[in-house]
């Protein structure tokens, strides 16, 4: 394994434009459960109902009650070795961007600056009736404190329950984020596909853009993905791989 990790490091360093696509698996090392993994939230929680926009419209308080334990405590979580190593790779110029399906803000906490959140972000909550303004938007920390106390965030102008900037089922992905992600994928001669099963579209199609443009992909995931056979390198243990990369990066 050591030789393969050294090979991966050399490939990253030699790449002209390396980007990463990350899924929920990269945050399991921070104690956040993924959705579809071996111990995923789908096994004991109706995640599709929690993130369903029609259900949110009918009963927005349900989302805040159900999501409180795994969305609004993420400020208590620490960035994992994966997050911090990706941040260090970017700071040294080896990684151009992180495209993430995650909504946990841990890439930013780990030092990444160019983070493209294709499923939205809970960083801001806004009023769908009044639009976004200083009076109708609430930041994550303030919302988290409210939810932890059993409340829900409301618009200061109309009193409506605020919605997080997360993309719910039934909503379109953020246009700018998706456009930026596709542009990075087209430029990439190397894409690191990390902790994602590549089963949720359109995010799952992003590595295919890199492949069609002549780039290579490396997959690190503990479950099979539809693109495994196209990967130039393939690993299953994120922790082991990134411990090795962190060591090599420190010595570089």
- Give the residue among 35, 32, 31, 29 at the shortest CA–CA distance from 200: 35
Q: How many CB atoms lie within 10 A of CB 189?
A: 16
Q: Residue 17 catalytic?
A: no
> Which one of the listed residues 83, 119, 125, 234 is annotated catalytic?
119
Separation between Cα atoms, residue 238 and residue 224, nearest integer Å: 14
Separation between Cα atoms, residue 28 and residue 113, nearest integer Å: 21
**What do you get for the CA distance between the two ends of the chain, in Å?**
19
Separation between Cα atoms, residue 128 and residue 141, nearest integer Å: 20
Separation between Cα atoms, residue 227 and residue 83, nearest integer Å: 23
Render 112-129 in DSSP notation, one character per residue.
Answer: -SSEEETTEEEEEEEBTT
Residues paired with residue 164 on neighbouring β-strands, in sequence order: 125
- The length of the chain in residues reads 252
Taking CA atoms, 246 is separated from 26, 82, 150, 220, in Å, by 15, 9, 40, 15
- Residues marked as catalytic: 119
């Amino acid at each position: 394994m050591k030789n393969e990790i050294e090979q991966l490091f050399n490939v990253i360093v030699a790449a002209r434009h390396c980007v990463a696509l990350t899924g929920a698996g990269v945050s399991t090392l921070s104690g956040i459960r993924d959705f579809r993994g071996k111990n995923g939230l789908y096994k004991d929680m109706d995640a599709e109902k929690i993130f369903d926009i029609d259900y949110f419209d009918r009963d927005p308080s349900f989302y805040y009650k159900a999501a409180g334990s795994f969305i609004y405590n993420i400020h208590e979580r620490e960035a994992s070795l994966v997050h911090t190593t990706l941040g260090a790779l970017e700071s040294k110029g080896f990684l151009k961007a992180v495209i993430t399906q995650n909504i946990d803000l841990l890439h930013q906490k780990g030092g990444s600056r160019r983070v493209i959140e294709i499923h939205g972000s809970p960083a801001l909550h806004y009023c769908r009736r009044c639009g976004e303004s200083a009076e109708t938007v609430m930041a994550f920390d303030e919302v988290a404190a409210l939810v932890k106390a059993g409340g829900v965030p409301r618009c200061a102008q109309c009193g409506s329950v605020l919605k997080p900037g997360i993309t719910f089922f039934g909503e379109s992905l953020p246009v700018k984020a998706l456009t930026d992600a596709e542009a990075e994928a087209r430029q990439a001669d190397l894409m690191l596909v990390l902790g994602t099963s590549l089963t949720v579209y359109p995010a799952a199609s992003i590595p295919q853009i890199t492949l069609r443009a002549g780039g290579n992909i490396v997959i690190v995931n503990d479950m099979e993905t539809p693109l495994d056979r196209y990967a130039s390198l393939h690993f299953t243990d994120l922790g082991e791989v990134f411990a090795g990369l962190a060591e090599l990066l420190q010595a570089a």
